[in-house]
Amino acid sequence: MALALQTFATVKDANTALKSQGSRYLGGGTLVVRAANEGDVSVSSLVRSTDPALSSIAVTDGKVRIGASVTMAAIARHPDLSSLARAARAVGGPAVRNMATVGGNLFAPAPYGDFAVALLALDATVSTDDGEAPIETFLTGRDSNRAIVTTVGFVLPPQGDFRFLKVSRVKPKGVSVLSIAAVLELAGDGTVSAARIALGCMADRPTRARAAEKALIGRRLTKDGIAPALAAAGEGTSPITDPIASAWYRAEVLPVHLGRLLLT
C-alpha cells in the first residue's frame, strides 16, 4: 500500500498532523521507510517538517545543540564535534550516515541506536515543543512519545573525557554486538571522580551501567582499579538476542570490552 507524505514548514503544524491515526514522523527514513517497504501496514502516512532549526548544529561555550534532522555524516564532519565523530561514524555505511538522523537514532531499537548510547553517556537533554526531558527519562518513555523531537543538547566534555566503542563482526561496517560510551572525569591524583557509562544492545534500548559507574569512583584506571566495575558491568542488564549474538554472548563479552574502553 502506498504511503502518503505530508510536509510542513513548522514543527507545530507537523505535530498537529501527527495526531491522526497511523501517522508517523519521517526523519531520514532508514527505519521507517524500510518498515514500509517490508510491508508494515501500521504506518499509513508519514509527516515531516522542513523547519531549518531541525537541521542546525550550534556550539557555544562548550554547550552543544543538535537539531533532530542533523545526520550522522554532518556530525562526523563538524569541526567542533570531533570527539563525537567516532560515535557518529559507527552508524551504518556512508549512504546510511548521509540519511540517518539524530532524532531517528533516539527511537532505533537495539541492535541500533549507537549514537543514542553516546548521547546517554553525555547526559543529553531531549527537547520537543512540550518541553525538555533528560535523555534517560525520554528513552524510558519513548514508545508512547508522540511529539516531534526538535533538538538534543549537552555539554561537550573536555577532549579525552568521552570514550566510545562499538563491537561488530563485520568490519568496517556492521551491526552492533554491543556499543559502550563513557564520560569519565579524573581527579588530580588520577582516580575517577565522576563516571557515566551507557550501554547499547544490553537491553531493547540504551541503558546506564549504574553499578559499574559507582564501582569506578575513587579507583584508578588500571587493571586492578577497574576490576570491581567490570564485575558489576552486567548488573541490571537484559541483553537482546538476534542473529548477530545471543544474550548470553553479549553478557559474557561486555566486561571484556568495557575493560578495553576503560584502559585505552
Count of C-beta atoms within a 10 Å radius of residue 52: 10
Of positions 11, 14, 18, 26, contacts another protein by CB under 8 A: 26
In angstroms, the CA 149 to CA 58 distance is 16
In angstroms, the CA 119 to CA 159 distance is 16
Nearer to another protein, 94 or 190 (CB): 94
Spatial strand order in the sheet of 57-60: 57-60, 63-67, 149-155, 125-128, 131-134
172, interface contact from another protein, ligand FAD, none, CB < 5-8 Å by kind: another protein
148, interface contact from ligand FAD, another protein, none, CB < 5-8 Å by kind: ligand FAD
Q: Binding of another protein at residue 125 (CB under 8 A)? A: no
Q: Binding of ligand FAD at residue 11 (CB under 6 A)? A: no
Cis peptide before 94 (omega within 30 of 0): no
Residues 214-253 that bind another protein (CB under 8 A): none
- Strand 149-155 and strand 125-128: the pairing is antiparallel
Q: How far is the CB of 141 from another protein (least distance, A)?
A: 27
Q: Binding of another protein at residue 205 (CB under 8 A)? A: no
Neighbouring residues of 148: CB distance < 8 A, sequence distance ≥ 6: 11, 14, 15, 18, 25, 49, 68, 103, 128, 129
Binding site for another protein (CB under 8 A): 2-5, 7, 26, 28-30, 33-34, 36-38, 46, 48, 73, 92-96, 98-99, 172-173
Which residues make up the interface to ligand FAD (CB under 6 A)? 24-32, 34, 68, 91-92, 96, 99-101, 103-105, 107-108, 112-115, 148-149, 175
